[in-house]
Amino acid sequence: MTPDEIRTAPFRYIKLGTGSAFAKAALERGEIYLDHREVPHDLAMRADRDAIIAHCVALGRSPGKAKDFSREVMDFHTLPEETIWITFEGGCLWWAQAKLPVEWIGPSEGRGTRLRRTIQPWRNTDLNGAVLLKDNLSTRLTKVAGYRQTLCAIEAEDYLRRRLIGEQDPVVVDALQARTAMMRIITALIAGLHETDFETLVDVLLARGGWHRVSTLGGTMKDADLLVEHPVSGERVLVQVKSRASQRVLDDYIERFDANPGLARLIFACHSPQGRLQAQGRPEVTIWSGEALAEAALRSGLLDWLIARAG
């Protein structure tokens, strides 16, 4: 599909069976199912809403429920092939378009009684290939999965169109640009910290991450090593704080870390590294510098603290 086709397409949400019982077959076979087995295929194909309502009432359905069933059957049988059908399964949003006419398959295990074949396979990615994880979507859209019946319109159509196309809301674009600028500012604020304040920053970041300081090792603040412990896992981590450091200095502390088998990890914090610091092949060594430090400070709500130290 093209972005222009998505911008003009109608949408419907469909629940593929109670508890998504039909979902696996639908996604694998490229089909969309609807049950409502009490409505004969010839009656549904006539698209006579009043006749479907009367038939359901005659079977004992309430007038309100009969109208709901009639709407669902009519939508399934008459919505054009341009319609985009969405469903949720396996933690993702899936979408597809489906061909007409509707085919009657009768009561069948795991498939419902009638189907439309998809024009293209179901997909769970936007047009750019990004996976549409349900947890990353707005509740304005995902709340439709709580619909108690089978098929309904979607309130958040504009939002859904943008997500399928892979476009961002203009306010989100503004927010991301502002965040990029903020990261640049925080990085500069950290780089200007006195070594004492830098050690305090690292200490606070660790504390807010649940780590407890066990002791301070070493002499002056500038060269202070911290030993921290996590109260749940019991892991002990060696933390080295340096305002400036080269790869040689990092390598030296990695050797010191290796000489202490009781330590789970090494965190090497340096706001102004001399060149690029690397610990290739050492997943137990974490390097905090530049944007990594800025990201941690931003997530921990330390902007005002940094501004106060700079001011």
The pTM for the full model equals 0.70
Helix (H, G, I), strand (E, B) or coil at 273: strand
pLDDT in tens, 159-168: 999 999 999 8
Q: Is the pLDDT of residue 216 over 70?
A: no
Q: Is the pLDDT of residue 184 over 50?
A: yes
For residues 210 and 228, the answer to whether their CB atoms sit within 8 Å is no
Amino acid at 36: H
Taking residues 63-79, report their average pLDDT.
95
For residues 289 and 271, the answer to whether their CB atoms sit within 8 Å is yes
Q: What's the helix, strand, coil split of the chain in %, to 5?
A: 45, 25, 30
Helix (H) or strand (E) holding 12: strand 11-14
Q: Which regions of the chain carry the CATH code 3.40.1350.10?
A: 173-310
pLDDT in tens, 91-121: 999 999 999 999 999 887 778 899 999 999 9
Taking residues 225-241, report their average pLDDT.
90
Within 8 A by CB and 6+ apart from 10, the residues are 79, 80, 82, 83, 84
Q: How many CB atoms lie within 10 A of CB 121?
A: 11
Q: Is the pLDDT of residue 9 over 90?
A: yes
pLDDT in tens, 192-201: 999 889 999 9
Q: Say how far apart CA 301 and CA 290 lie, in whole Å.
A: 17
Q: How many CB atoms lie within 10 A of CB 262?
A: 6
For residues 94 and 124, the answer to whether their CB atoms sit within 8 Å is yes
Q: Where are the alpha helices (DSSP H) in the chain?
A: 3-8, 23-29, 41-45, 49-58, 63-78, 139-142, 157-165, 170-191, 195-208, 247-258, 290-299, 303-310
Note the pLDDT of residue 36: 92
CATH number assigned to the domain with residue range 173-310, chosen from the 4 options 3.40.50.1820, 3.40.1010.10, 3.40.1350.10, 3.90.950.10? 3.40.1350.10
Q: Which of 196, 216, 195, 184 is nearest to 297 (CA)?
A: 184
* Overall residue count recorded for the chain in this entry: 311
